[in-house]
A = this chain, B = another copy of it.
């Protein structure tokens, strides 16, 4: 069974004896058709090796390893001894192949380095851990192709379930997977063109409340800087902005809105533009944490005070001067809810896909309560 071409391998020094008859095994060579895959990293002992060493059958080892009943203490001891001596570790790949489930779930998000996704990912991990599953994750970098590539790679690994923060807007490629029973929950943004569970923050309501807060403090010329509207959250937050303005009867000038990728350069230019000109904005609502950080920098350079409310909380927001008022979403709750729903699907207690919306929370710290200043 072990490749005779390998160099010194302690595990290979067993005397070639037929363990039933006790006879030496004759070099009959019954037509070797296969070669062990070259393994320059050394071979690991298998249950068969353990069984041989302990002088028991293969299945008995399996029983001991899995804590199944029906093994005498004495036999168990012998097997355990062999396991320890050989450093045996069960090969879960083979186990998975046999059992059909992998006890692992996949998480596809945008960027693990983004402070918003860290706690989300951790929350998913904790739930997975409570259910005995491991977490495989990958970053899509906001690229739909990469998202698909990742998701399909995870499916090829036969993860039991998927938590996806989608980058793309067409997820029909997941249809065979769903049909095959891969539990799937989308988070933060809904799936595109398929019917699937989704857990969201109340982006619309949060943004509307945040903007209404500014309006309540006397602002009328309020800017909005957000992400590309093809991203669901960005579109919803923009909708919230528009709704708040409409509710207050304030017509919105096009020059007050900036939508696009949220790299610092563009955001900075956008902020500076809406702060200059004949009718500059007196307040800005920012569409996500990265935008907020950039705008804080821009505002710090301005001579006059400009009010600010940001979507997403940011660390140290309370220590800035003024403190940054934000619409906070609970990233951990998003992750936890999604993961719990995933395992509910796997338990079979869930039938119909649902859309769950978590509330946001307005945290006032000063920047959103500044009065308009012309």
Residues of A in contact with B (beta carbons under 8 Å apart): 1-11, 13, 37-44, 86-87, 89-104, 111-115, 117-119, 121-122, 125, 129-139, 152-158, 160, 175-177, 179-182, 293, 296-297, 300, 314-317, 319-321, 332, 343, 346-348
Contact = CB atoms under 8 A, between A and B. Distances in A.
Contacts of A13: 99-101
Contact of A315 (B94, B180, B315): B315
Contact of A152 (B89, B156, B160, B317): B89
A93 B87 contact: no
27 contacts: A4-B131, A8-B131, A9-B132, A10-B131, A10-B160, A13-B99, A37-B99, A38-B100, A39-B100, A41-B180, A42-B181, A87-B180, A89-B152, A91-B97, A92-B158, A93-B97, A111-B122, A115-B118, A115-B315, A125-B137, A135-B136, A136-B136, A136-B137, A296-B316, A296-B319, A316-B316, A316-B320
A180 B10 contact: no
Nearest to A66: B11
Chain multiplicity (copies)? 2
A182 B41 CA distance: 8
A296 B86 CA distance: 53
A48 to B, nearest CB: 14
Contacts of A111: 122
B115 A7 contact: no
Given A42-B180, A113-B122, A319-B320, A6 B101 contact: no
